[in-house]
Structure 1
Amino acid sequence: MDFEVKPIYKRAEKAKALEKHEREVLRSIKKAHAKTAEQIQYQHHAAKQLAQECEFRHRESVQHGDEFLRDFLRCHFEQYLDHIRIISGQTLEEVKMIGNEKDQKLGVRQCRRLFNAPVLSDQIGYLLWCELRQGKALDHSHERQTEVMTERGGISMEDARVGHANELRHGQNEYSSSANYRRTKTWAGTRHSIVFSRPEGEAPVSASAPVSPISSIPETEPPKEISQKMDMKKRKPAGACLQPEADLPGPPDRAIGTSRGQGCRQYHSRKIRQEPSQLNLRVHIPVRDGFSTTSKRSRIPVPAKTWPFLAMKFLPSLQLLAAAAAPVSAAFTWQNVKIGGGGGFVPGIVFHPTAKGVAYARTDIGGLYRLNADDDSWTAVTDGITDDANWHNWGVDALALDPQDENAVYAAVGMYTNDWDPNNGSIIKSTDKGATWSTTALPFKVGGNMPGRGTGERLAVDPANSEILYFGARSGNGLWKSTDAGATFAKVSSFTAVGTYIADPTDVGGYNGDIQGLTFVTFDSTSGTTDGATSRIFVGTASNDTSSVYVSEDAGATWAAVADQPGTFFPHKAVLQPAEKALYLTYSDGTGPYDGTLGAVYRYDISNSTWTNITPVSGSDLYFGFGGIGVDMLVPGTIVVASLNSWWPDAQIFRSTDSGATWSKIWEWSSYPDMNLYYSESTPKAPWITTGFLDTDTKDLGWMIECLVIDPLDSDHWLYGTGLTMFGGHDLTNWDTIHNITIQSLADGIEEFAVLDLASPPGGSELLAAVGDDSGFTFASASFLRTSPNTPWMNPIFTSTTSVDYAGASVQNVIRIGNSAGTQQVAVSADGGATWNAYSGADTTMASGTVAYSADADTVLWSTGTSGVQRSQYQATFSAVASLPSGAVVASDKQNNTVFYAGSGSSFYVSTDTGATFATAGSLGSATAIRDIVSNPLSSAQIFVSTDVGVFHSTDYGASFTLTSTTLTNTYQIALGLGSGSTWNLYAFGIGAAGARLYGSADNGASWTDIQGDAQGFGSISGAILEGSGNTAGQVWEQRWEYLVDYAGDVDDDVAGDICVFDRCPDDHCLANHCADDRCADDNNVG
C-alpha cells in the first residue's frame, strides 16, 4: 500500500486512525475462534509465506535503494519468524516447516492481504490470533504484558509504525528478540500522519498523542448528562465499548471503553457460579453492513484468561474510535495501475513562459496532465469532469496558459465532431492549476480524437490581456473570441476562413468526413497593443493553398492572408521567437497525425514580412512531413524540429543554432544499413518501451511527433510527444558540444493506454491487461501494480490485444487474441502470462473479438470479429460453431471443463459438450440485450449475466435466472472479485441510485452501492472495462473509456470500507451477527 509521511497539525483527525484497522483485528479474532486446529497450522504457514515475501521485497528494496522500505520489510521478516517461534514454542526451522501444500495458495493470499495493511496494529493483531486460539496469552508475565501493551497499544498506531521504522534506522529492532521485549519506548520528534488508500471523503488518518493504558482510566460513572441520554435497557453507548457478558477474573466488574470520550457506563454483569472458560465479548463499534455505515454490536468469544490482555491491547484504540463514528462515503480511493510510459498519443505540450516548472500536456483520449517538475512526473487534472454524461471530455483538442497568471489553464474538450459523438464541446478553465474547473459550453462539437488533432494550439490567451481568448473551431465554425476570460465566447464575424479541408469527402458522418477547420492561434507579443489587446495575431487553417495563414494587425478587428506565404502544404505549428521577431512554422502534405510524406519548415520574418524556406533536407532525403517544433527562448536562433511520420527507419530530429540556415541530425546513415546514433535512450520508469517493444522495430525515436517544445526557462529541458509516449531530456545543449544527448521516457504518471480487456486469475497472476497499440502486460502480484512492467506481451507481439482469459482449474494457462489478420492472432501461456507461444491451430484470416478458455485449458471458444464464433481443441484447427450467432458474448464455466455459456440479444445459451453445440437455456425476463457473462472463479454453475434490464444470477448452469435487484438497471460490464473470507464481491457498471456509474455488491447483487463517487470520472459506462481481483480482497480494476487502468481497494479486506463479513458457515448458519439480516453463504454459494 502506497503511503506518504508528513507532519500533522490537527488533533481532530486522530480518531480516524484506528477505525478500520482495529475492527479488522476484532473480526479476525472472531474468525480465528471459529477455525479448526488444522486451520491454526495454516495461520503459521501464512506467517511463513509473509516472511518469505517480505524477504523478497527486502531484496527488491535493496536493489532500488529505498531505505525506509528496506527497514520496514526487514522488520516484518524478523518479527514474524521470531514471534511465531516464541508463540508456538518451536524452533525456527520447525516454524519454517509448518504448513502444507494444500494451504499454500490461501497462505500466499492471506499474507499479501496482511502485508498490505498500512499500520503495525494489524500484524500485531495477527500474532494475537494465534495467542488467543492457543490460550497462551497469559504465558507472558504480568509485567511483560503491561510493557508490551503500553508500547503496542498505549500509543497511536500511526506513531507506532513511524516510530518503529525510525527505531530500525538506528539498529534497534525491539521485536527481533525477546531480550529486548521489555524495553519501554517513546517516540520523539515530529508527529506524522500516514496517508493511505481510504474511503473517499474520509480525512487523512492521524493520531497526535499517546493514549494512556487501561490502568490510568478513572473508574467513575459517566457524567450525568451522558447517562441520561441512554436507555439502559434499549440503547447502546454512543461510543466504543468492550463489555464482558460475565464476571471476569482480574479487571473490575465494569465495562471498559468510552462513551463520547467520557468513559463507559457500568453494566450490571450477570453473576456466575464458577469462572468461565470462555466469554462472549461484546464490542460496540461502528461497523458497515454491506456498503452502508451503521452501528451494530458484535460478539466475540474469547478465552477468559486472555481478557485482561485483550482489554489492554484494544482499549486505547477504542477510546480513539469513539470519535470516529461519523459515516464515511462508500466510494473507493482510486489509483493508477502503473504501466508507465504514457501508452498513447500526446499531441500538445505547453510551458508557461515565465513560471518555471509549470507545464501541461494534452492527450487525445486521456485528458489533461500537469507537470511535476521536481521528478518529471505528471498528474491527471481532468479526471473529475469525465463521468458517463461527459465522457467526451477525455478528448483535449487544444490547450492554453495565461502568460500573466501561472495558475490559470484553459482547454478545449470534446471527443468527435462526426456522428460518433452527439455532444457539443466545451472550453474548460481552471484558476488553481487544474484542481477545480469551470465549463463554458460551445454551440458546436470539438474533436480531441479527430484527424488533425496534433496541429495547434487552436486556443490561446492574449499575453497583454487575460480577459481575451481566441479559439479556432472545426467543422466550418470559424474563429471564436472571449472577452471575459472564457466565461462566454462569440464568433469573430470578420474572420471568414474556416479551413475547408476534408480528408475523405466520401466518408460522410465518418472519421475522415468532417471539415478540419483552424489549426493554430498565435499572438505576437512584440506587436504592441490596440485598445488594451495584442495587436498582431496569426491564425492557421487546414488549407493547402497560399491563403492558409492569416494575420490581424488591429487586435482581431480585421484579417488578411499573410502575403507571399507558401502553398501546397498544410500548416501544423507556429511558434513565435520574440527576440528574433520571427514566426517558425511546420508544414505537411497531410493534417496528421498518421500521414505525412512531404513537408517543409519556414521562418517568417515579421519585421520585413519575408518568408524563408529553412527545411532541413531536400530531394530524396525528404520523404516525410514536419510537425513538432521548439525554439529556445534563451538562445535566439536555436530551433529543434521533428519529422512527422518517418515510418522507416526511424523518426528524424533536426537542430539548428543559426535560425535554420544549417542543421544537424540526431542520427544519420554510416554505411547502410548501419546508423550513427547521436543519442542514447534511458527508460527506467518504463522499461518495457526499450525492452521488448521498440527493440522489435527501428522506430526508437517514435512516430506521430506533432509536438516538440523546449522549456522557455531551461535550454537543456525539452519534451516531445509521440504515438507511444512522451520523450525528452535534460541535456539538450550537449547536442551542440559533444553531439550526443540522452533521450528519456518522461511520461511517468500519464496512463493513456487503450485497455481492451482485463483478467485476474485466483491463485495466478494478479492482473492481465490487454491493451490497444501496445500488446498487453502481466502483473504477477499485487506488489507490482505500482511498478512499470519490464516487457510487454511478446512472442508473438500483437498490435492490439482485444481479449484475454484464463483456465479456471489451471490458472497458469492464459490465452489472448490479437487484432491484425495476416498472422496468427491467438497466443497461449503456461506460466501465467510471463511467456507466450502462438496457438498453432489459429487461422491467419481470423482476428479480434473475445475468447473463452475452458477450465482445463484444452478448449478455446472464440467469438471472432471476422468469422463468427469458432472453436478449437488441443490446438487443432478452428471450426465454426453453427449453433451460435455471430458476435455472441462467450464465457466458460471456471470449474466445469465441459460447460460454456453464450448470449446474444435476449437468448442465453449453454453448452455441455465443451462448446461443440449450444442450446438455449433459462429466460432472462424482459431483457433484450445480453452484454456480459461472468462465472464464479471457484464454483461451477454460478453465473451472473448483465443485460439492459439489470444483472441476473443463476446457480444451476443457467437453467434458471433471478434478477438480482431492480435498483440497478441497464448494466454493462460486470465482474466478480475476492471479498471477505471465501466470499466474492460483485461489481457492475449500470444505472443506479447515484446515476450511471460503477457499483458494488456484497450480497450477490441484492443491494448495490456507488463505489465510484462524485470526484472520479470513468467516462461512458457502456465502454468501460471491469475486473475484480481474484487474489486481493476488496480490490477492483476499471478501465476508463479507452484510457487507463485504475484500481481501488480499502485498507481492510473488504470493499468500500467494511463489506458485510461472511465467514465459512457450516450448515448454512451464520456466526455472530455478520449482517443486518443475518444472511450468510456457505462454501457452495458466491456469498
Structure 2
Amino acid sequence: MKYRKITAVILAVATAICAAGCNGNDNSGTSSSGDATSSGSGDSSMTSDNTTSGGNSGTAQAQFTFSQVAMGGGGFVSGVFATSEQGLYYARTDVGGAYRYNKDTQKWESMSYDISEEDRGLLGIDGLAFGEKDPNKVYMLAGTEYFSNGKTCLLYSDDYGKTWNRTELTDMITAHGNGMGRGNGERIAVDPKNSDIVYVGGRTGGIIKSTDGGKTFTALDMGTKTTTSNGNGICSIIIDPKSGDDSACTTIYAAISRTQEENLYKSTDGGATWNPVADAPKGLYTQRMKYNGDGKIVITYASAEGPWNNNRIDGGVRTLNIADDTFTEINPAKKSFGDVVIDPSNPDRMVACTENIYVPQPNGQFGDEFYVTTDGGKNWTLLNEKMKMSDGGVEWISTASMHWCSSMAIDPNNTNKVMVVSGNGIFTCDNIWDESPEFYFFSKGIEETVPYDIISIPGGKLVSVIGDYDGFVQDSAEEYGMVHNSVAGSMSGLAVAAKATDIWVKCGGSESAAGFWYTLDAGKKWVNVTVSPLESGNVAYGGYVAVSADGKRFFWAPGNDSSIYYSDDQGKTWIKSEGGVGSKKIICDPVNPDYVYAASGGAFFYSEDGGKTFTQNMTLSVFAAARPVVAPGKEGVVYYPSMGLQVSTDNGKTFTRMDSLAACMAVGLGKGKTDSDPYTIFVWGKPTNDDSIGLYWSEDEGKTWSKVSDDQHQFGGPGNGYFVVGDMNKYGRVYMSTVGLGVVYGDLVQ
C-alpha cells in the first residue's frame, strides 16, 4: 500500500483465536523447527460446506461462498512472478497477502483467505519464491512489524498455494511486509536443482537455510553484521543455476541494504562461508538481481531502498560477471531503477524500469520510465513516448499511473509478455518488443485496498470509503464501480441520509487538506467543505461522520479533535455539540432526526435534540469505540457491541444484553429472506455455545446463530475498518473489512 501509519485495532474483549500452525519447536544448536501444520486452503472459489465450525462448537456451519468487492487493485503489489508452467503467475502484496493467477478464469485468486485475526500480520508478504522445475512448490516470507506481535513465518505449499504449512521464524529472523524496501527482492531463493533447499533472508537475523522444504532452518554465518539502519537487512538473494550439481558447491549472492561499506556477499559452498564482493558499488542500494542465462547477474540500483524515498538522479543497472565478480555499467540512465527482466532465449534483450521517478506516461499521468535494449545494454530505448496504456476494463485506473515499479516478470512461455507492479496493482504488456508496446491493467481479482466503511443503500448502490483512493460507488459487489470523483485521498468515515438517500457525507483528508465532503446527488458531484469546525481554526480531518435521516443536518467528529460538531447549512458554519466528548463513531436514527447516537472508547451517548447535546448512558459498560448500528426503518432500535451484543429499543437510553452471544466486536444488519421476515444480523464474535471467534449470522433476531466463516475463510479478521455490514438488497450477503484484502463478501448458498 502507499505509505501510511496503520494503527492496530485494540479489542476490549479478550479473544482466544485458534492460530493455525506457527508453533516453533526449540531445537538445539542453530537449528529451528516449526510444526508443519496445515492451515487450510486459500482458494477464493472454495465453498464452506462444513457441518460444524470446529473446536468446542455447538453452532451449525452455514454454507457461504466468498469473494472480494470488485474495486480493482488499489494497493502496492510488491512482487510479481512468472513460472515455467504455462499461464501460472504469482504475486505478493505488502498488506494483502499473495495471489495466484488462474488462467482458466483469467483472474487472480487470493492465497491468503485462511489467515486468522490473531495472525493478520502474515498478510504482509516480504518475499516469495517457487521451485523452478516444480512451481507448485511455493514459499513465502510473511510478517508485519506492527501486527501479531511481529510474528514472522515461512509459509510453504506444494499445491500451488491452495493449502499452506508454516514454520515460525520470529526467533531467527524478522520480516516486515509493509516496511521500507518491501519491493526489493527476493529475500527467498530456492535452489534450482533441489526445490527443498531454501535460503531466506531477514530484515534482522541474516540468512537462514532449510534443506527439508522449509520445515527446519539453520542460521548461516555471513561474517558481517546484517542488521541495517534502514530496517531492510538482507534485501536480495540469488543462486547461480550453473553452479555445481552438489548443493554443497552452490554459488549464492546476497545483498545487504546499506551503503558506504560492503553490501554484496558471495558464497561458493552452499552458504557455509561468505566473502564480500570487492567491486560491488558501495554508494548505491541494491534493488533486485536477475540471472541472465549467460553467466551474468543483472543488478538494479537506487539511491535508497524504496519504494517512495529513492527518486533522486542516482542509481542504474549493472552486470556482474560470476566468473570473476567484475561489474559493467549498462545504465539506461543515472536514475533509481526498480527491476530488470531478461529474455530467457536471448540475454541481449532486456527491459528495465525505474522506481519512483515521475515523468509523463501515455495516459497523461506521471509515473516511472521503461527502457528496452536488444544489444545487452549498449543502447537503450525509452518507451514512455512510444508505448500505450489502457485501463484493462477498470475505468478509474485511467487516472492513475504505473509507479513504484519495483518488480517485473517476463513470461518464459511467451517472451513478448512482461508484467510490472505498481502502487495500484499490476500492469502487463503482451508486445513488449514492438515499436509501440501497449501496457494494460492486469489486476482482475486483486483487491488490496484498506477499507474504512461501506454502505448498502436500500434500493440503491453500494458506497465505500477506503485508504489512498477515496472510495467507490457501484451497482453491485461483482461489478467494478467508479472511484469517487472527489479523488481526495484516504477517507475514514461515510454516512447516507436514511430518508434522503441521495445525500451522502464523508471525511478524511490530512493536516494540509480540509477533510469533509458531501454530495446531494448520490455521488455525481462531491463538495469539499473548507470551513474548519475547530475553535483553533486549524484544519480538521479524519474521524467519523453522520447525517440526519432527512439529510438536513451534518455531523462530524474529526480525528484530530475530541468534540462532535454539527452543521445545518452544509458546512458553511459549524456548532459544537455539548457532551459526547471523545466520540469516535456517530450514527443518526433512521426515522427520527431528533435522535443521534455516538460512542467513544469509554462511553455510549445519545441525543434527543438532534445532536445539540449528548447524554451518556450510565448503565452501559463500554470498553472500545465500536460502531453502533441502527435498525433500518425503525425508530430507536440500536445495536451496540459491548460485553457481547447490547440492544436498545428506546433510543439508546437502556440496553439489554443478547444472551445468545458470548462476544461481539462488530455487528451489521442485512435484508431478510422476505419482506415480512426480520432483518438478518451478522456479527464478528462468537455465540455462547461456541469457542471460536468468527463471522456469524442470525435470521431470528439473535435467538440462534450459524457460522459464516471457517478455518479456510478468516481473512485476517475485520482489520482497520472493523466493520461487518449486511446487504440491504440481497438476502444472505455480508461485507467485512480487512487489513488489506479490501472488502470481502460472503453469499449464502441457497
Which range, TM-score by smaller chain?
Answer: 0.7 to 0.9
> Is the aligned partner of 1:996 residue 2:672?
no
Is the contact between residue 61 and residue 706 of structure 2 (CA under 8 Å) also seen in structure 1?
no
With CA pairs under 8 Å and 6+ residues apart, which has the higher RCO, 1 or 2? 2
Candidates 488, 509, 512, aligned match of 1:819? 509
Is the contact between residue 397 and residue 447 of structure 1 (CA under 8 Å) also seen in structure 2?
yes
Q: AA paired with 1:793? A: H
Give the structure 2 partner of residue 641 of structure 1.
352
Q: AA paired with 1:628? A: D
Is the contact between residue 64 and residue 749 of structure 2 (CA under 8 Å) also seen in structure 1?
no
- Distance between the aligned counterparts of 2:699 and 2:81, measured in 1? 46
Give the structure 2 partner of residue 836 of structure 1.
526
Is the contact between residue 455 and residue 591 of structure 1 (CA under 8 Å) also seen in structure 2?
yes
Give the structure 2 partner of residue 83 of structure 1.
none
Q: How far apart are residue 499 of structure 1 and its match?
A: 3.3
Change (3 A) 1:428 1:646: same
Other structure's SS at 2:239 match? strand
Q: Which has the higher helix share?
A: 1
Other structure's SS at 1:404 match? coil
Q: How far apart are residue 528 of structure 1 and its match?
A: 2.1
Change (3 A) 1:534 1:333: farther
Give the structure 1 partner of residue 737 of structure 2.
1039
Residue by residue, what CA displacement relative to the aligned partner does 1:456-500 show, whole Å, maximum 9, x if unpaired? 10011111222211000112x11100011111111113x133433
> What's the Cα RMSD here?
2.4
Counting only pairs closer than 5 Å after superposition, residues 799-818 of structure 1 correspond to structure 2 as: 799-818=489-508
Counting only pairs closer than 5 Å after superposition, residues 629-708 of structure 1 correspond to structure 2 as: 629-648=340-359, 649-667=366-384, 677-690=385-398, 693-694=399-400, 700=401, 702-708=402-408
> Is the aligned partner of 1:866 residue 2:560?
yes
Is the contact between residue 60 and residue 705 of structure 2 (CA under 8 Å) also seen in structure 1?
no
Give the structure 1 partner of residue 65 of structure 2.
333
Change (3 A) 1:202 1:988: closer
- Distance between the aligned counterparts of 2:45 and 2:108, measured in 1? 20
Give the structure 2 partner of residue 427 of structure 1.
154
Indicate the larger mover: 442-451 or 627-636.
442-451
Other structure's SS at 1:333 match? strand
Give the structure 2 partner of residue 616 of structure 1.
332
Candidates 392, 400, 418, aligned match of 2:129? 400
> Is the aligned partner of 1:848 residue 2:577?
no
Residue by residue, what CA displacement relative to the aligned partner does 1:276-307 show, whole Å, maximum 9, x if unpaired? xxxxxxxxxxxx9xxxx99xxxxxxxxxxxxx
> Is the aligned partner of 1:582 residue 2:320?
no
Give the structure 2 partner of residue 525 of structure 1.
241
- Distance between the aligned counterparts of 1:328 and 1:200, measured in 2? 12
Change (3 A) 1:1004 1:569: same
Q: AA paired with 1:346? A: V
Q: How far apart are residue 919 of structure 1 and its match?
A: 1.4
Q: How far apart are residue 838 of structure 1 and its match?
A: 2.6
Residue by residue, what CA displacement relative to the aligned partner does 1:353-381 show, whole Å, maximum 9, x if unpaired? x3232221111111111122356421112
- Distance between the aligned counterparts of 1:632 and 1:934, measured in 2? 56
Is the contact between residue 419 and residue 429 of structure 2 (CA under 8 Å) also seen in structure 1?
yes
Give the structure 1 partner of residue 472 of structure 2.
777
> Is the aligned partner of 1:929 residue 2:624?
yes
Residue by residue, what CA displacement relative to the aligned partner does 1:641-668 show, whole Å, maximum 9, x if unpaired? 111101354311111112211111112x
Indicate the larger mover: 390-399 or 373-382.
373-382
- Distance between the aligned counterparts of 2:410 and 2:47, measured in 1? 41
Q: How far apart are residue 1051 of structure 1 and its match?
A: 5.0
TM-score where L is the length of structure 1: 0.60
Q: How far apart are residue 1013 of structure 1 and its match?
A: 2.0
Is the contact between residue 77 and residue 91 of structure 2 (CA under 8 Å) also seen in structure 1?
yes
Change (3 A) 1:932 1:1006: farther
Q: AA paired with 2:350? A: I
Q: AA paired with 1:641? A: A
Other structure's SS at 2:433 match? helix
Is the contact between residue 479 and residue 491 of structure 1 (CA under 8 Å) also seen in structure 2?
yes
Give the structure 1 partner of residue 113 of structure 2.
383
- Distance between the aligned counterparts of 1:1042 and 1:407, measured in 2? 25
Indicate the larger mover: 681-690 or 557-566.
681-690
Matched residue pairs, number? 682
- Distance between the aligned counterparts of 1:421 and 1:923, measured in 2? 34
Give the structure 2 partner of residue 474 of structure 1.
203
- Distance between the aligned counterparts of 1:199 and 1:399, measured in 2? 27
Give the structure 2 partner of residue 768 of structure 1.
463
Change (3 A) 1:376 1:616: farther
- Distance between the aligned counterparts of 2:436 and 2:249, measured in 1? 40
> Is the aligned partner of 1:516 residue 2:232?
yes
Q: How far apart are residue 892 of structure 1 and its match?
A: 0.8
Residue by residue, what CA displacement relative to the aligned partner does 1:153-193 show, whole Å, maximum 9, x if unpaired? xxxxxxxxxxxxxxxxxxxxxxxxxxxxxxxxxxxxxxxxx
Is the contact between residue 144 and residue 151 of structure 2 (CA under 8 Å) also seen in structure 1?
no
Q: AA paired with 1:801? A: M
Counting only pairs closer than 5 Å after superposition, residues 209-248 of structure 1 correspond to structure 2 as: none
Change (3 A) 1:846 1:349: same
Other structure's SS at 1:392 match? helix
Counting only pairs closer than 5 Å after superposition, residues 164-183 of structure 1 correspond to structure 2 as: none
Change (3 A) 1:929 1:607: closer
Q: AA paired with 2:610? A: T
Q: AA paired with 1:547? A: E
- Distance between the aligned counterparts of 1:437 and 1:610, measured in 2? 41
Candidates 717, 722, 738, aligned match of 2:417? 717
Q: How far apart are residue 854 of structure 1 and its match?
A: 0.8
> Is the aligned partner of 1:345 residue 2:193?
no
> Is the aligned partner of 1:732 residue 2:432?
yes
- Distance between the aligned counterparts of 2:45 and 2:285, measured in 1? 49
Give the structure 1 partner of residue 37 of structure 2.
none
Residue by residue, what CA displacement relative to the aligned partner does 1:290-345 show, whole Å, maximum 9, x if unpaired? xxx99xxxxxxxxxxxxxxxxxxxxxxxxxxxxxxxx98314211222112x2111
Change (3 A) 1:202 1:909: closer
- Distance between the aligned counterparts of 2:671 and 2:729, measured in 1? 6
Q: How far apart are residue 685 of structure 1 and its match?
A: 2.6
Give the structure 2 partner of residue 903 of structure 1.
599
Give the structure 2 partner of residue 743 of structure 1.
439
Counting only pairs closer than 5 Å after superposition, residues 123-134 of structure 1 correspond to structure 2 as: none
Q: How far apart are residue 840 of structure 1 and its match?
A: 6.0
- Distance between the aligned counterparts of 2:347 and 2:723, measured in 1? 49
Counting only pairs closer than 5 Å after superposition, residues 1021-1040 of structure 1 correspond to structure 2 as: 1021=718, 1023=720, 1024-1040=722-738
Candidates 656, 669, 674, aligned match of 1:976? 669
- Distance between the aligned counterparts of 1:957 and 1:439, measured in 2? 49
Identical-pair percentage: 28
Residue by residue, what CA displacement relative to the aligned partner does 1:9-45 show, whole Å, maximum 9, x if unpaired? xxxxxxxxxxxxxxxxxxxxxxxxxxxxxxxxxxxxx
Change (3 A) 1:349 1:680: same
Change (3 A) 1:467 1:758: same
Candidates 91, 104, 109, aligned match of 1:361? 91
* Rg larger for: 1
- Distance between the aligned counterparts of 2:530 and 2:501, measured in 1? 21
Show structure 1 runs of 5+ residues with no match.
1-195, 204-287, 295-326, 504-514, 668-676, 695-699, 1053-1087
Q: How far apart are residue 451 of structure 1 and its match?
A: 1.4
Change (3 A) 1:405 1:420: closer
Q: How far apart are residue 709 of structure 1 and its match?
A: 1.5
Candidates 629, 653, 660, aligned match of 1:959? 653
Is the contact between residue 894 and residue 940 of structure 1 (CA under 8 Å) also seen in structure 2?
yes
Q: AA paired with 2:90? A: Y
Write out the 4+ residue segments of structure 1 that deviate beyond 6 Å after TM superposition: 196-199
